[in-house]
Structure 1
Amino acid sequence: MTVNIPGVGFPFPGKTLVIPPLALGDLEQLLDRINLVMAGNMDKDSISTVIDATHAALRRNYPDMDRQEVADLLDLRNFRAALEAVMGASGLEVSEPAPGEGRAPSTGASSTLT
């Protein structure tokens, strides 16, 4: 199969696929949901977001791949790495908190006394 859009090779179970950047239209639709997942939320909506984002990226190189096929390639071991690959291919930096630390919301205020 010919890959039309360069991206990140990702080792899914049984095959490596090239994850290209998300199209801007897909990113526009998914960015708020992706940010919630990257903040550490894990629920049914988060799982749907990972599947939707991975599918949106992969269908650019594999137009015949349906959402269920992508869902079957993702599991508890690879879903976060797959989402990070989607984000990395799209040029967006993924930053993780240290183990055991949650992300603190920004208040916009400086924590340094002057």
Structure 2
Amino acid sequence: MGDILLTWLVTTVSFLIISRLPIGVEIASFRKAAIAAAVFGLLNALLRPILFLLGFPLILVTFGLFLFVLNAIIFGIAAAIVEGFRLRYGFWSALIGSIALSIINSILLSFI
């Protein structure tokens, strides 16, 4: 249980860091970032396996690069669900934001 809470907190901080970068991801407050992190985690757990199965042929053809698109789709859905979490440039903000989220999460989790 402690690992899940720690990961959630790190993802929340990552969302706050991403909102400060000039990539078009806007998050209103810490509370909205915490909600966005929880929604993003739930969508990753529930929706990602389904999207992976549906997109498996494209993942094979693109040698795994389509996984970036799947992450951007989940990032965009989370932005659509959470009020106060906005993508200024649409899909491109979701794509760059999801890549930035994975990089920042990796860096922060490596310190812990």
TM-score computed with the length of structure 1 as normaliser? 0.39
Q: RCO higher in 1 or 2 (8 Å CA, sep ≥ 6)?
A: 2
- The answer to which structure has the higher helix fraction is 2
TM-score computed with the length of structure 2 as normaliser? 0.39
